[in-house]
Amino acid sequence: MAASPSSSAQRARQALADRLAELCREAGLTGAELSERCEWSRSKSSRIMNARTPPSADDIRAWCTACGADGQTEDLIAVLRTAEGMWVEWRRMERAGLRQAQQARLPLYQRTRRFRSYSSWLVPGMIQTQPYTTAVLRAIQRRRGLVDDVSAAVAARLERQQVLHEGDRRFAFLVEESVLRAGTGGAEVMSGQLGHLISIASLPQVSLGVVPMTPDRERWPAEGFWIYDAGQVNVELISGYLTITQPSEVTMYAEAFAELAALAVYGTSARALIASARDALE
């Protein structure tokens, strides 16, 4: 399990380590005795109990057997898998190509009814045009040296966009004004994307806000993130994909979204900023 900047992921790792240490105490074993029963070094047990080294599924099986707690093995392995899934490096997520990474998120999108998205880098994937998506994914494929399945990945993302028009879902998109002026894919691609944003903003189920570039704002831009209903946040960082489910942290992102939303402009004012960015391309 890779080291993670997320306190949610670290908290999950610590909770698993604490539970394994508790099993050891309940069995009346010292760390040294546990290590002997598991046939590994004493330092390994210490590292696991102090959350310095994450256990493997086999380590958990051996630990539970040594403590006479085989009945808890599968539950603890499930906890391990949850902690592992909170932080995924891009190279691990995309090792089979970009298409699979796009498809993996579809079930989450399908079960979500309220979407909140903030982006300081790119137009959110849900409201990208095909040429814009192609430019973005092509750049990622080249930069990370991935297999070339960009066409299939673009098709998967466009298929995922169908949830925008299905059911009783609600969508709130916030983008920094700088996103409108980033020039992703070149002038023609960007111009088409900006025109698409104006169209998207007219949909009744969509709220589109633009956070203007001002010299006096107190709430600075943040990393891009998505909030799904009220139970999960996904954050896209340079090094990986972060899943947050800890209620206190989900609340923090919801509060940040509300603060940024209060800075944004909507309707006519948002369309004016989009049109200004489009005019600048010409």
* Residue stretches of the chain with pLDDT short of 50: 1-5
In the chain, where the domains are located: 7-85, 89-281
Q: How far apart are CA 38 and CA 217, in angstroms?
A: 57
Q: What is the pLDDT of residue 238?
A: 77
Q: What is the pLDDT of residue 280?
A: 95
For the stretch 181-208, pLDDT in tens is 998 999 999 999 999 999 999 999 999 9
- CATH code reported for the domain at 7-85: 1.10.260.40
Q: How far apart are CA 203 and CA 42, in angstroms?
A: 62
The phi-psi region of residue 267 (left if phi > 0; otherwise alpha if psi is between -120 and 50; otherwise beta) is: left
Which amino acid, 138?
Answer: R
Stated pTM of the model: 0.76
SS3 86: coil
SS3 114: strand
Q: What is the pLDDT of residue 246?
A: 74
Nearest CA to 159 out of 105, 213, 94, 218 is that of 105
Strand extents, DSSP E, the chain? 87-89, 114-119, 170-176, 206-211, 225-228, 232-236, 240-244
Q: Which CATH architecture has domain 89-281?
A: 2-Layer Sandwich (3.30)
Q: What is the pLDDT of residue 3?
A: 45
How do beta strands 206-211 and 232-236 pair?
unpaired
For the stretch 70-114, pLDDT in tens is 999 988 887 787 776 666 766 666 777 889 888 888 899 999 999
User: What's the angle, vertex CA 194, arms to CA 114 and CA 212, rounded to 5?
Assistant: 75
DSSP secondary structure of 116-152: EEEESSS--GGG--HHHHHHHHHHHHHHHT--S-HHH
